[in-house]
Structure 1
Amino acid sequence: MSRRRRILTFSAVIGVTVLLAVALGVVATTSGGRSTPQAHSTDQSPAPTVPATAAGSARAFLDRWVDPDGRVVRRDQGGDTVSEGQAYGLLIALAARDRDAFARILGWTQAHLQRDDQLLSWRWADGAVQDSAPAADADLDAARALVLAGRAFGEPRYTTAGTRLATAVLDRLTTTTKHGRVLLPGRWAAGRADVPYNPSYASPAAFAVLGRATGDRRFAELEAGSRAVTTAILQETSLPPDWAQLRADGAVNPLPGPDGAGGPVRYGYDAARVALRYAESCDAADRTLASRLRPVLERNDPLPISLDLGGTATDPAEHPLAYAARAATRSAAGDPADARGDLERAAALDAERPTYYGAAWAALGRIMLTTDDLGGCTPGAAA
């Protein structure tokens, strides 16, 4: 065959290959990603099953993201495990009243993540701890789950483990500021005059649960200090930021990241949890703070997960947490019907494009806002 004919034949093969790739790309979707199916997709696979209740969303999370040994696996993020995920697993297993799943998740956590000071190492991958630093939100959630499980399952050892972890959080991961006592995001933030702060780590319901269990007044101080900071933030911006800095002079400055770097300041995957944390509180002042976010979050529909602090979308991507957060603001404002609609949208979005974080908050959103399984107050039940 001549060189010219070989080139023509090779070119034809490339052309056919490119056409096939384009055709396949039209119908491709990514499991766990935020891409959406193309309008002209010919995919005939059945529609995903969407859980209709808190119990259903809890079961979906436990079945998909928890291995038999109790490790909560971020399959959509390389297969690693973080203390946050183990804590979410404990809370969800508790709400599902799944004694076996709770025991397995706790056993793995204690064997692989728990440090000598009781706090949890943040990240595990490839058979070993990759980052031993603790994360305050995970430790707080895990302590809450343990204390509540002690009563729910009749296991005093869980209560003991929970109060020990809670005391370690107080001793190692809190500090006092002009606004009162607050959570440090991690040990790395200790000893600073200007304190790095994550507004979404504060959990009034967890503070109340752990305060009763330990009898330690520092949890009441955390409730008051965290509320003061959140109030100060919402006096300056319509939405809370993912990160902030509590200055020694009392000023609260939004930050793009924990170290002040990382792009523009935003309300995103961290800050969206603030409304849920405050809406489940049994204190009316906390629920009022959550309800203040409602008008801003109702400006967008579909609702993106990433907004600037005035409520303008910075990225069109949707996420179950965004809808769970708006549900929290509506619930706190006394609108359970619209809240249920957003919780259903969160569950549907997670079923369509499953992710570890989306599944966790599709479940936790329903649990926090429609049950009292985690020690908070369902709408209308608070004093």
Structure 2
Amino acid sequence: MPRIHRTLLVIATVALFPGCGHAAQPARPIPKAPSPAEADQLAAQSATAFLDGYVDPGGRVVRRDQGGDTVGEGQAYGMLVAAALGDSARFDRIWGWTQSNLQRPDGLLAFHWVNGAVRDHQAASDADLDAARALLVAGCRFNRADLRAAAGRIGRAVLAHETSGRVLTAGPWAAGGGRTVFNPSYLDPSTLIGLGHLTGDHRYSAVAERGRSIIRGVSRPLPPDWATVAGGAARAVTSARGFRGSGRFSWDAPRALVRLAADPDPAGRKIAARAWPVFRNRLPGDIVVEHHLDGRRAGSSRSSVTLVAAAAAAEANGYRDNAALLLHDAAALQQQRPTYYGAAWTALGRLLLTTQRLDVKPC
């Protein structure tokens, strides 16, 4: 058994510090983070587990715990993971299935496929940006100009159909009536910067900068799942369609912390770092999915994605040992309660936070 596994398996599970309305408990020991080589091995293991568990032989990413359907973001996750592993055969199968079944004439990806056909033709900008990132990474890793060109095509479609001014919209449907629907977890500054390098178009970096500004403004310190932008002002809301309430951090928003913690611009990492006080005082079992934006618990669901988000907040503060332990906790929860979403973000969290396998660089 590798040293990091032996160390992590004997850690007592007691809380770190008091905070966020919870009683104080003794601190649990925080082991040293794994070496870069060990962290890379752990990331590769989680990535392989996702591909083996949720990608069928034809390249479809299957949400096995959600009725066996497929969504655009899932295909993009599969492409990202295959590109990170350097698995060109599986990448081509996943991308090929995506092109044949989900890619729209404008280059964006349809949202939902079930029982052999597209059920919802609308696009979502997170899937489109993640697919573009996967194509950028794979294009360089496999020395494939066709993949870089495909990334550029999706990027142009994002600018044409999924932005309103400098605001990244949640999808082509999300702007109108003087109001734009914005999902903080859809913004991936690394991809936008990479598309700017690919094309020389400065609008991508402007969209990334505006997105950071919106997230910074609506986080308290947690970002909401959804927000609206109207008249230059942004506010958190409860859902994409219902423009009321003060917003919640639940199933979508944890991804925002991961993407921002991996942002090449320190402005993004600072936003992720602000969330750390919410998590630092809690045992893994006390880190639930649903939160009020001020960090108070608002539910009892548990998912690996929230533990990965806590790891991202720790990493953004430079607390690498804490981040490594929380990533271990996320992997342990995924093993106990396997889900498509948990598997994807356990893999992506480790890849984005502890390796350079998904770095977007000119080539």
The answer to whether the aligner puts 1:192 opposite 2:177 as a matched pair is yes
2:192 equivalent in structure 1: 207
Contact 1:280 1:376 in 2 (8 A): no
**How far does residue 52 in structure 1 lie from its aligned partner after superposition?**
6.6
Give yes or no for the alignment of 1:316 onto 2:305.
Answer: no
Structure 2 residue corresponding to 1:339, chosen from 305, 323, 332: 323
**Residues 55 and 262 of structure 1: is their aligned pair in 2 closer, same or farther, counting only changes over 3 Å?**
farther
Measure how far apart 1:318 and its partner are: 1.4
What SS class does the counterpart of residue 252 from structure 1 fall into? strand
3-state SS of 1:304 partner: coil
Identity among equivalent positions (%) equals 45
Counterpart for residue 253 of structure 2: 271
Taking the aligned partners of 1:226 and 1:102, their CA distance within structure 2 comes to: 29
Conserved 8 A contact 1:281-1:376: no
Give the counterpart of 2:70 among 56, 62, 81.
81
| Matching residue of 1:91 | 80
Distance 1:295 1:347 in 2: 22
How much is the aligned-residue C-alpha RMSD, in angstroms? 1.6
Answer whether contact 1:202 1:277 (CA < 8 A) is retained.
yes
For residue 251 of structure 1, report the CA deviation from its aligned partner: 2.5
Distance 1:66 1:262, change over 3 A: farther
How far residue 297 of structure 1 moved from its aligned partner, in angstroms, is 2.3
Per the normalisation by structure 1, the TM-score is 0.81
CA–CA separation in structure 2 for the residues paired with 1:264 and 1:230: 14
d(CA) in 1 for partners of 2:307 and 2:177?
35
Q: Secondary structure at the match of 1:313?
A: coil
SS at match of 2:298: strand
Give the secondary-structure state (helix, strand or coil) at the position aligned to 1:100. Answer: helix
Please state how far the C-alpha of 1:281 moved relative to its aligned partner.
Answer: 1.1
* Equivalence for 1:380: none
Name the SS for the 1:142 alignment partner.
helix
Q: Which has the larger radius of gyration?
A: 1
Residue 291 of structure 1: CA displacement? 0.4
Q: Report if aligned partners of 1:211, 1:220 keep a CA contact under 8 Å in 2.
A: yes
Report the equivalent of 1:120: 109
- In the alignment, the residues of structure 2 paired with residue 189 and residue 155 of structure 1 have an alpha-carbon distance, to the nearest angstrom, of 33
How far apart are the structure 1 equivalents of 2:243 and 2:271? 27
Between the aligned partners of 1:342 and 1:231, the Cα distance in structure 2 is: 24
Number of aligned residues: 320
Query: Deviation at 1:289?
Result: 1.1
Q: Which amino acid aligns with 2:224?
A: P
1:256–1:266: 8 Å Cα contact kept in structure 2?
Answer: yes
* Distance (Å, rounded) in 2 between the aligned partners of 1:226 and 1:261: 19
Flag the structure with more relative contact order, 1 or 2, with Cα contacts below 8 A and sequence separation at least 6. Answer: 2
Deviation at 1:375, TM superposition (A): 1.5
Contact 2:123/2:172 (<8 A) preserved: yes
Aligned to 2:224: 241
- Report the TM-score when normalising by structure 2: 0.85
The Cα of 1:189 is off from its aligned counterpart by: 1.4
Deviations 1:157-211 (A, max 9, x none): 11111111111111111112xxxx1211111113331211111111111111111
